[in-house]
Structure 1
């Protein structure tokens, strides 16, 4: 078993992420990370299927979807395709333009992230998934840790880790990160060696300037001080149990009055965005 596959196996077993009996739904974009997760978990013998949310971002998502369909056919993996057009009646770009016309300033990443998470949880529940596996790697997690620290978002910080969340909720399907200790460079090398048909370019709508700034900051430090990202993760994992314990005393999250999805507020972020489109 190769390095990256061994890391995933160790992470799954050490943090008890999944068992061979679990129905594992892998959230896929057609990119290198999620395709790698799907490939490795399938190879390790877990009961996997894939789900993708098509935000209809021109040729970018069109090609990603075609690549993912080919990959799933080759590996004999069931693929579920969810479309913004079918669910919301329009593409991400059109939804954003309507909000902009109404004077509501939300960037594409925010809109896409909120609506995508909403759909993933909704359909994971419908498909009776036990967990949703994502392609977040060590680079992504180190960035998220710093971003939440810099913004003093301690509750959001406590939700991070190999298995996300603080408290269980009957309507929320847990998320896991099998690539938690795998670097982006390792993923790129692994996917290229196996000639995965994936798009290595960033989403053309990605304008999360804050994350980009933190990404560049970490990459620069990593060049000067090896293992910076790994050290951030290891330090964080030592304090994570205390963080989770502090927030576990809070009451269970409510459900959205409109859609019934788990939400801290009376109306979830997805429904707030969708209501502004009317």
Structure 2
């Protein structure tokens, strides 16, 4: 049985609900993980999602900032809304669902952006980001009884040289500094997570999921970064059939600066 899973930093779910509807009309994923919903739970547009066929909804939101949501066409069970760094931010939710005969634990993350100055001594936002990634070491891919795990979200780090438009120019820019990328990859490997987007894509091939609002013409300049990720436990790698970065969504009306990434699995 095949299923599709999409992850997207929507940058305000209520403001950009028409774009969500466009994504669903064009790609119709079975499960949709949103980040930066910027919406308290009582104002989340659950009725609109149910009208679109997403009867099963798990949300962890707050007013004006952060927020994650996982909506699904198939039953899901909320497992955890984890707090990181002793800060009450809505940046994680995990759910469990069935695919074929396998139980899958799905993590939806929104990692702190980290501000502008890559120095934890003078920038508390960057210090928070580094601490958050360090605590993610405890999020493990391996599950008991052969269950599978998937981790998706806006992880706000472009770890590899060709996950950014210019490795040399961005080495001192938050999201691609060595302290971030090294910690990020160490965390991923410690958790035994497979980076599905790079499985069959050469490391010297550019991959972007985000283009800044600051660019006069994002498409022509193409100064992107891969900030959005899809990982899985190793026992799900054989079921992974590929993914799509929906680059055209960056050109939709009033877009997010991130675009959806859609993964296909066969279980």
**Global fold match (TM > 0.5):** no
Larger helix proportion of the pair: 1
**TM-score (norm. length: structure 1):** 0.31
Q: Identify the structure with bigger relative contact order (alpha carbons < 8 Å, sequence gap 6+).
A: 1
Point out the structure with max Rg over C-alpha. Answer: 1
**Larger strand proportion, structure 1 or 2?**
2
